[in-house]
Amino acid sequence: MKYKKHHYSVTLAHYLSAAILFLALAVMTAFSRDAFAGHYFQPRILAITHMAVLGWGTCMIFGACYQLIPVILETELYSTGLAWASWGTLLPGVISLVYAFWVFEPGICMQTGALLLLVSIILFTLNIYLTAAKTKKQTIQEDFIFTACLFLCFTALIGATLVFNFTMAFLPQGQLHYLRIHAHLGLAGWFLLMIIGVSSKLVPMFLVSSYKNDRLLQVSYYLIVAALIAFSTDSYFFGLNIKTWFIAAVGVAGIGCYLVYMGKCLRGRIKKHIDLPMKHGIFSFILLIAGTVCIPFIIYYYLRHGQLDIRFTFIYGIILIMGWITALILGQTFKTLPFIVWAKHYEHLAGKAKIPMPADLFKPGLLRVQMITFIVFCLSFVPGCAFGLALLTGIGCLALLITAIIYVTNVLIVVFHKTKTYDEL
């Protein structure tokens, strides 16, 4: 697929913004080591969480979607103008909201940020919907992607409501009651469904897999969506209760179907070599499983009115947000971004001259070190937070900061790549 200049620019704007915000996230984390030993509902943790899920994860996914959705849906993006408008409201929204959480000033800055983010998300969803409306062939990937966008809209709406509730206090119950729904609509409704929808199309393509059966994906879709709807409504009216066990089992079964599908794609691959970006992806699946394992412990200790449910909830969030989502992005950036830049510089030269491949545009040595430092982060930061070990938490913060610096450096190398002359080639 050929990339128009304005499509290229808006995609790169999201990638660069997300990379810079990831570095900011690592710095914020390093300055908040003590906060990870307490409750998750506190200013700095709220700021870090929203920087991670909105500034890092969502901004990157928005940018990737402008490249990948046309490929997955086999049609052109509906509007680059809507994409720019979404980016133009996303960035100030993230900065305003995160700053207001960091200093914890519920008021106009926090409310403005929440509203800007809601507008950005609605514009993105509208763009994806109008893009999907142009395609005649409906796929399970389209169902995953558009449903994820709808859940993101609901997540943002609940989030904005909670922000205004800080100063107006109009909700009948406390913030934590609604925060649980808000968080799971974001994690499972937005990230999980979007990641399944995109990865189930791209991973088989990257691996050149012979496995093509979508039945497991269809089962996964209905199980996860059913669990999300049931959890949201039941949790709203009754909180966590004995029925939560069954709802969680349905959702976990849906995740299991997806993982089995990915395993079949991996076993059916024709391309036997697994490159570094795909190894990041495999590691992210391990972290997804690790995060899912925390769910029964959260429910068990909550129903027993123990304090450990708070700690398991904290670890659950860290593994999924800082682990699973981050690992996937760290790897897939270097499967997608180099191709975008390569297409810009070399697509017109393909077959006419000796040219670099997309994988030649980034530094594999940096990517290898990035993976090592990120694994060190996961293996030190998670147990450090779990057991209140300051030394391990500090090592994790340093490892994350190094990971972010390496990542940003490699991204900049790709983005500022110069077309090589024929002699240089």
> CB-based burial of residue 151 (10 Å sphere; 0-12 exposed, 13-18 middle, 19+ buried)?
buried
> Using an 8 Å Cβ cutoff, are 401 and 373 in contact?
no
pLDDT tens track for 87-119: 999 999 999 999 999 999 999 999 999 999 999
Which structure tokens are listed for 122?
A: 């609605």
> CB-based burial of residue 423 (10 Å sphere; 0-12 exposed, 13-18 middle, 19+ buried)?
exposed
Residue 421: predicted pLDDT: 52
Question: Quick one: average pLDDT of 65-72?
Answer: 86
Residue 418: predicted pLDDT: 87
In the block, tokens 């997300």 appear at: 18
**pLDDT above 70 as % of the chain:** 97
Return the amino acid letter for 216: L
Sequence length of the chain is 425
Does the pLDDT of residue 1 top 50, yes or no? Answer: no
Which residues 6+ apart lie within 8 Å of 76 measured at CB?
A: 70, 131, 134
pLDDT tens track for 19-54: 999 999 999 999 998 888 877 889 999 999 999 999
Checking 239-247 for CB contacts under 8 A at 24+ apart, the result is 239/177, 240/180, 240/299, 240/302, 240/303, 241/303, 242/303, 244/299, 245/296, 245/299
pLDDT level of residue 2 (50, 70, 90 thresholds): very low
Domain ranges of the chain: 1-110, 138-270, 276-294+303-425
Rg of the chain (C-alpha set)? 21
> CB-based burial of residue 34 (10 Å sphere; 0-12 exposed, 13-18 middle, 19+ buried)?
exposed
Alpha helix stretches (DSSP H) within 347-389: 364-387
- Report how far residue 119's alpha carbon sits from residue 129's, in angstroms, rounded to the nearest whole number: 15
pLDDT tens track for 341-386: 998 888 777 667 788 888 899 999 999 999 999 999 999 999 999 9
- Report how far residue 412's alpha carbon sits from residue 17's, in angstroms, rounded to the nearest whole number: 11
**pLDDT above 90 as % of the chain:** 73
Question: Quick one: average pLDDT of 392-407?
Answer: 97
